[in-house]
Structure 1
């Protein structure tokens, strides 16, 4: 006696791709445009606030230097030195043309920047040497592992 196996009905596979109608596409484009416009407006507002904050600092800098000249004249050189250390090369040249910039502070700041560059290059070289040594050790370890197997 032979039993026939019942077969399950074949299911139609669902379409895995979502198809957007033209009306849905239009609504999506309008929504994305709206979101983009709002983000652009907010970014412009944020830029304006930051620009105004930088202008306030720039406008207050001279008054602060005058006060510092009276209260703690020795700190003027240190302030220019620290600003010079973190400024770009172009801004550093401009910064040290300021009327209140002490003589010699530009050279001091440049020496510090050069020292930092040398330390960074030495650190990169040391990291490269360490990586090369680790790679060589791994290669030797793999070679040793292959010979014992």
Structure 2
């Protein structure tokens, strides 16, 4: 004789939801506040270290430019050009007011920034055209 296998699940499902007691909830909130305070304190320490590092670089910059002026005067133009290319428009304008900033470098940096903007716009336009072509062509549609 065959014995039929039980179709009963091996483990009963839990019908009740877990609910935290008020004491557990209070401990959880206290722990989360403690973690937030520790993370905030560490973030403030990290910010302070980075502010001090930027200040050290700024304070050393003029001495470095003086050294460059004596040892490698041709590099001053290139250094101001490169910094100007990556600075915001406001910082670029301020940067080129520096006493050691060479003449003509501001225009060169602005031309480079304008060229990069044009290239970026051309790439966006090309990508938009390619996307339009793919959606217009039934076989290459993104809906397929």
Name 1:57's counterpart in structure 2: 57
TM-score, scaled to structure 1: 0.84
How far apart are 1:96 and its partner, in Å? Answer: 0.3
2: distance between equivalents of 1:29 and 1:101? 56
How far apart are 1:90 and its partner, in Å? Answer: 0.5
How far apart are 1:134 and its partner, in Å? Answer: 1.2
Name 2:135's counterpart in structure 1: 135
What SS is found at the alignment partner of 2:100? coil
Report the RMSD for the aligned CA atoms in angstroms: 1.9
Name 2:74's counterpart in structure 1: 74
* 1:85-100 mapped onto 2 (5 Å cutoff): 85-100=85-100
Q: Which has the larger radius of gyration?
A: 1
Where do 5+ consecutive residues of structure 1 fail to align?
A: 1-7, 144-149
Name 1:18's counterpart in structure 2: 18
1:29 and 2:29 are equivalent in the alignment: yes
How far apart are 1:142 and its partner, in Å? Answer: 8.1
* 1:100-139 mapped onto 2 (5 Å cutoff): 100-137=100-137, 139=138
- Does the 8 Å contact 2:134/2:140 carry over to 1? no
C-alpha change, 1:134 and 1:76, in structure 2 (3 Å) is same
How far apart are 1:78 and its partner, in Å? Answer: 0.5
Q: What is the count of residue pairs matched by the alignment? A: 132
TM-score, scaled to structure 2: 0.86
